[in-house]
Structure 1
Amino acid sequence: MDPEVSLLLQCPLGGLPEEQVRAELSPAYDRHPLPGGDKDIAAIWETRLQAQPWLFDAPKFRLHSAALAPSDCPGPELLLCLGLTSYRDFLGTNWASSAAWLRQQGATDWGDRQAYLADPLGVGAALATADGFLVFLRRSGQVAEAPGLVDVPGGHPEPQAVCPGDRPQHEDLPGELVVRELFSSVLQEICDEVNLPLPTLSQPLLLGIACNETSAGRASAEFFVQCSLTSEQVRKHYLNGGPEAHESTGIIFVETQNVWRLQETQIWAELCPSAKGAVLLYNRVQGCPASVAPGSPTQSPPL
């Protein structure tokens, strides 16, 4: 396993649809205040704002734990235990120079390495085109995380999308609506970042949860989404720009039949940890990559 990424949970083969995922919101799943108080978080935030004034704080869901269990539905059910956190707290804990110490102290104080960390839950998509390619994006130099690296489309589910307001509370966030936001947010990120029409995208299947070890174990739910467009059609939509076109500088296509050996190629070193997690889960949960459809390209389109 690559030291930059670990797998917290792997879903059964094929992935889980929205109907087989539940969410439970509780203050018990929030992070603990830092030893000595949270003043260091405020100081880190102010420093980051001076360097990157376009950053803004917003509420996020915090992943405390996730577990598969039997259910009345065909196949198992996934339970997500979620708290609330913020982007400010994420930069002030997971990305703090003291993050490794916070993990060690969390294990000592609470028996949980993540106890003091914001750990906002991200989402990412292994997005497949109709002619058998996975879609990757070259991140711009202006983004706060992994500038210049290669990523899959993704972002965060938003508590404010479930309950508008500055600071939604746990009791304002019904579990079924939170799950709906989790699944719909990954589609919205694809639409915004790749500029694809929503009707061209399949319903997401959850592949599992990967942890970014370069940001102290921050978790991301990774999905599989099928697009009805070919790689060249996807490229044209991307080049026309979208609401979040500023977040990337280029689009890259990799044949699905070659994704299983991506770790052997140069591009692996350029993938950010969340993309590595999406690839690892795609290979494990989707099984052997499907063959490219007859008549489709046999080489990746030019980057």
Structure 2
Amino acid sequence: MEKAETGGTTKPFNEPSPHFKLLLSCPSGLSPSQVSVVFDETYDRVPHPDMSLENSISEIWDQRIQRSTSLYNGQKFRYGGHMLCNGDGCDKESRVCLHLGLTDYRTFVGTNLNPLWEKFLVISKDDSIRCQHTSSPLGNGAIVETSDKKILVLKRSNDVGEFPGHFVFPGGHPEPQEVGISFHQHEIDSEAINKKVSLEMFDSIIREVVEEIGVPAASLCEPVFIGISRRELNVRPAAFFSIKCSLDSMEIQQMYSSAQDGFESTELYMVSVSDLESMGSRMPGCHQGGLALYMLMVEAEKNV
């Protein structure tokens, strides 16, 4: 595993890019047993000392809901960093522990998507300190490989709030409500909560693929965690997973037309790895990072 690398959308992937930063790269892929979570208010957002900047959060949100009555303020997990543990001794497995707090969509709109988003940042080489005043909800994305070796890519609808018209991997967010979390509860068994949140990291990406593509969950193999990318514009973080599907391209294309969340996209593409690389420049920054993470995994598999 490697920490805090930068990458580009064409080889080599360790060259700096203005579009994304790889906060965590796991080319060998990690199973659910190798990914843990510490969910704690320590990793919640720190309010900015500039009150006028803080007040702009409410102002931005009020403007958005006036334009779109369908918006609602749902809870999200906030990315607050991670800790690596490389296997040694009798235990050869590498592990990662994700540090997650709690945030919401309103604060995301008012900080990360604020026209003044850069003013929320702190000058620091430590990413968690640099972004301590932003909402930074942890998104997720899946690089899904079909049985005939194609990768699934969606073209986003022009009606969605983020990345309209862009090429993206299926994904969304792990959801606190799925594990019964709406606020920090200190009297609850923290170890049990951490395990539930850790499982939600993997359960949520299966859920997103099923809802956006229309394939049955039974056709998807267990997700493999490959790292975290952050879009440099608006400092938007996302965890990425590699998932193999037992269905071929033609079967999946037929199912896509009845996908539950099909309204979020206008078209599903089945592309080769080489075609995927050429599409990278038309992806949002965090998804460009997801592509870089996947290509690092592909290179690692070739070298095994």
Tell me which moved more, 173-182 or 187-196.
173-182
Structure 1 Cα separation of the partners of residues 263 and 118 of structure 2: 32
Q: How does 1:48-87 map to 2 (within 5 A)?
A: 48-70=64-86, 73-87=91-105
Give the whole-Å Cα distance in 2 for the aligned partners of 1:130 and 1:137.
18
Task: Quote the Cα distance in structure 2 between the aligned partners of 1:29 and 1:68.
Answer: 17
The alignment-based identity, stated in percent, is 31
Question: 2:171 aligned with 1:154, yes or no?
Answer: yes
The answer on 1:8 being equivalent to 2:23 is yes
Superposed CA RMSD: 2.1
Consecutive unaligned residues of structure 1, counting only runs of 5 or more, are 291-303
- CA drift at 1:257: 5.3
Question: Residue 199 in 1 paired to residue 218 in 2?
Answer: yes
Q: Distance in 2 between matches of 1:73 and 1:235?
A: 42
SS of the residue 1:169 aligns to: coil
Q: Secondary structure at the match of 2:199?
A: helix
Shift of 1:289: 7.7
Aligned to 1:283: 295
Aligned letter for 2:18?
P
Q: CA deviation at 1:63?
A: 0.8
Amino acid at match of 1:154: G
State the TM-score, normalizing by the size of structure 2: 0.86
> CA-to-partner distance for each residue in 1:32-80, whole Å, 9 max, x for gaps?
1122343211111111112222111111111111121135754111011
Q: What is the CA–CA distance in structure 2 between the aligned matches of 1:156 and 1:28, rounded to whole Å?
A: 21
Shift of 1:107: 4.3
Counterpart of 1:112 in 2: which secondary structure?
helix
Q: Which residue of 2 aligns with 1:294?
A: none
1:19 aligned residue: 33
1:34-183 pair list within 5 angstroms: 34-37=48-51, 38-70=54-86, 73-104=91-122, 107=124, 112-163=129-180, 167-169=182-184, 171=186, 174-183=193-202
Q: Give distance in 1, aligned partners of 2:250 and 2:138.
A: 32
Look up the match of 1:227.
245
CA distance in 2 between counterparts of 1:170 and 1:141 reads 39
Cα distance in 1, alignment partners of residues 300 and 98 from structure 2: 28
Instruction: Tell me which moved more, 280-289 or 174-183.
Output: 280-289
Q: What does 1:250-265 align with in structure 2 at a 5 Å threshold?
A: 250-256=267-273, 258-259=275-276, 262=277, 265=278
C-alpha deviations, 1:120-168, integer Å up to 9, x for none?
001100010000111000000111110111100000001110116xx33
1:208 correspondence with 2:227 = yes
Which deviates more from structure 2 when the two are superposed, residues 276-285 or residues 111-120?
A: 111-120
How many residue pairs match? The answer is 278
For the structure 1 residues 288 and 75, does the alpha-carbon distance in structure 2 shift closer, same or farther, using more than 3 Å as the test? closer
Structure 2 stretches lacking a partner, 5+ long: 1-7, 9-16
User: 3-state DSSP class of the match of 1:42?
Assistant: helix
Conservation of the 8 A alpha-carbon contact between 1:124 and 1:274: no
Secondary structure of 1:9 counterpart = strand
TM-score, L = length of structure 1: 0.86
Read off the aligned partner of 2:120 and give its amino acid letter.
L
